[in-house]
């Protein structure tokens, strides 16, 4: 079984994305073929395309926040069937001690499964007409985050495919697989924020907005640090307080607002200066959760005395420490209950307009960009999206 599909191919680091006709091999025994209805655009996709992971193979199809409809399943798959609506999350081995202990976000093979852009047997499901040999074909690296969902169709690792309620629109469901579960899970699974505590969230993008929603859902006081005025306005309308990230008196303003620093700080920005700022924003016995990716080799300067004598705790959090079968349905319930206002956070773009989507995010014009493959384009620039 081989399908003719359309995919965004990145030829080499820094080359951007080009809509390209490809062929997709059908699913192996432990895979699921999904017709992609929507796929979120994440900073990780943009950073990888720019080349910050030098060992990643090219040409490659990226994309790791896919949602769609199951078209076929491998022989070993029994938790989804053709016609199911699904969210696709990151892969995991299911055999290491972290997977067995219920901590699959820290799977010992996670980096290999996410970034090798190959199946475990070394193959790829993607190919295209050869650029050098007339009539020949060449491989295209796929299986990024177990899916490569910047495409009309994807072959996904079954362990990362989660069925969802068909009533949830796919363009709202797509970010659940990474950005939303990372932000929500950091607050609920890792920090375990409680009613009445103070949470500072640095950055109001896809991850940050989910962190804000999660903290508000338990009755916490939330302060958002964000440079975009339109994003600050949206955060305020949801119930958060805000501080301009560009304020020269940011730390003092935040300490005045929170009475000496926050109980929890969620840092969604990987820039080292911002990480150092996050430590300063925490109060005594405060917890700082790092969820924004930094380029490999980055270094942060920390005063150990600040951690020791103030009792601050600094930790990294991967994928919101999610357990997919538990957390994805819980996020759908949160949306149904009005606790996760995705309609106000998502802006949609045609799949081929990924550069425009990235620019809109960079300019602060949208909180979460979601791309729609050709077969799902409605002729709508922002179905359900926030337009500042």
Give pLDDT tens digits for 254-279: 999 999 999 999 999 999 999 999 99
Query: Over 70: is that where the pLDDT of 241 sits?
Result: yes
Asked if residues 32 and 48 have their Cβ atoms less than 8 Å apart, the reply is no
Query: Over 70: is that where the pLDDT of 64 sits?
Result: yes
Length of the chain in terms of residues written: 388
Query: Over 60: is that where the pLDDT of 377 sits?
Result: no
Give me the mean pLDDT over the 121-149 stretch.
Answer: 92
Partnered with residue 35 across adjacent β-strands are 69, 153
Give me the mean pLDDT over the 138-156 stretch.
Answer: 97
For the chain, give the longest Cα–Cα distance.
69
pLDDT range class, residue 69, cuts 50, 70, 90: very high
pLDDT in tens, 162-190: 999 999 999 999 999 999 999 999 999 99
Give me the mean pLDDT over the 95-124 stretch.
Answer: 94
**pLDDT (0 to 100) of residue 201:** 98
- CA 210 to CA 387: how far, in whole Å? 18
**pLDDT (0 to 100) of residue 384:** 40
**pLDDT (0 to 100) of residue 61:** 98
Around Cβ 111, how many Cβ atoms within 10 Å?
A: 10
Query: Over 70: is that where the pLDDT of 381 sits?
Result: no
pLDDT in tens, 76-89: 999 999 999 999 99
Give me the mean pLDDT over the 14-23 stretch.
Answer: 95
Residue 108: what are its φ and ψ, rounded to 5°?
-65, -20
Query: Over 50: is that where the pLDDT of 217 sits?
Result: yes
Distances (CA, A) of 337 to 40, 79, 163, 333: 22, 25, 19, 6
Query: Over 50: is that where the pLDDT of 382 sits?
Result: no
Query: Over 50: is that where the pLDDT of 386 sits?
Result: no
Query: Over 60: is that where the pLDDT of 383 sits?
Result: no
**pLDDT (0 to 100) of residue 54:** 85
Average pLDDT of the chain?
A: 93
**pLDDT (0 to 100) of residue 136:** 87
Record the pTM: 0.92
For the chain, the 3-state helix, strand and coil shares in percent, each to the nearest 5, are 35, 25, 40
Give me the mean pLDDT over the 232-237 stretch.
Answer: 97
Give me the mean pLDDT over the 327-346 stretch.
Answer: 97
Tokens of 248: 């020269």
**Helix ranges (DSSP H) in 62-138:** 97-100, 110-115
């Amino acid at each position: 079984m081989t399908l003719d599909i359309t995919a965004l191919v990145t030829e080499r680091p820094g080359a951007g994305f080009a809509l390209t006709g490809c062929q997709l091999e059908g699913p192996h025994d432990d895979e699921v073929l999904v017709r992609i209805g929507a796929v979120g655009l994440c900073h990780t996709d943009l950073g990888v395309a720019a080349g910050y992971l030098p060992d990643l193979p090219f040409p490659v199809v990226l994309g790791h926040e896919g949602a769609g409809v199951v078209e076929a399943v491998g022989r070993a798959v029994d938790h989804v069937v053709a016609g199911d609506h699904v969210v696709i999350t990151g892969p995991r081995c299911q055999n290491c001690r972290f997977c067995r202990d219920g901590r699959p976000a820290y799977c010992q093979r996670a980096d290999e499964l996410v970034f090798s852009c190959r199946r475990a047997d070394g193959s790829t499901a993607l190919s295209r007409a050869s650029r050098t040999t007339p009539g020949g074909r060449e491989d295209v690296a796929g299986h990024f985050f177990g899916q490569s969902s910047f495409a009309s169709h994807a072959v996904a690792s079954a362990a990362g495919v989660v069925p969802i309620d068909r009533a949830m629109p796919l363009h709202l469901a797509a970010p659940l697989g990474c950005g939303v579960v990372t932000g929500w899970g950091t607050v609920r699974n890792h920090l375990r924020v409680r009613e009445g505590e103070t949470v500072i969230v640095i950055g109001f993008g896809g991850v940050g907005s989910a962190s804000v929603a999660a903290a508000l859902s338990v009755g916490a006081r939330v302060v958002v640090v964000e440079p975009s005025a339109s994003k600050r306005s949206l955060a305020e309308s949801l119930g958060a307080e805000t501080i301009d990230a560009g304020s020269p008196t940011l730390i003092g303003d935040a300490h005045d607002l929170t009475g000496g620093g926050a109980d929890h700080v969620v840092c969604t920005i990987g820039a080292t200066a911002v990480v150092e700022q996050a430590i300063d924003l925490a109060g005594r016995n405060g917890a700082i959760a790092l969820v924004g990716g930094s380029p490999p080799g980055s270094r942060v300067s920390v005063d150990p005395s600040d951690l020791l004598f103030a009792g601050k705790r600094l930790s990294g959090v991967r994928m919101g420490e999610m357990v997919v079968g538990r957390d994805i349905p819980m996020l759908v319930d949160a949306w149904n209950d009005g606790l996760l206002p995705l309609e106000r956070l998502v802006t949609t773009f045609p799949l081929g307009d990924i550069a425009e989507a990235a620019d809109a995010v960079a300019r602060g014009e949208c909180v979460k960009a979601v791309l729609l493959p050709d077969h799902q384009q409605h002729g709508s620039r922002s179905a359900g999206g926030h337009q500042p």
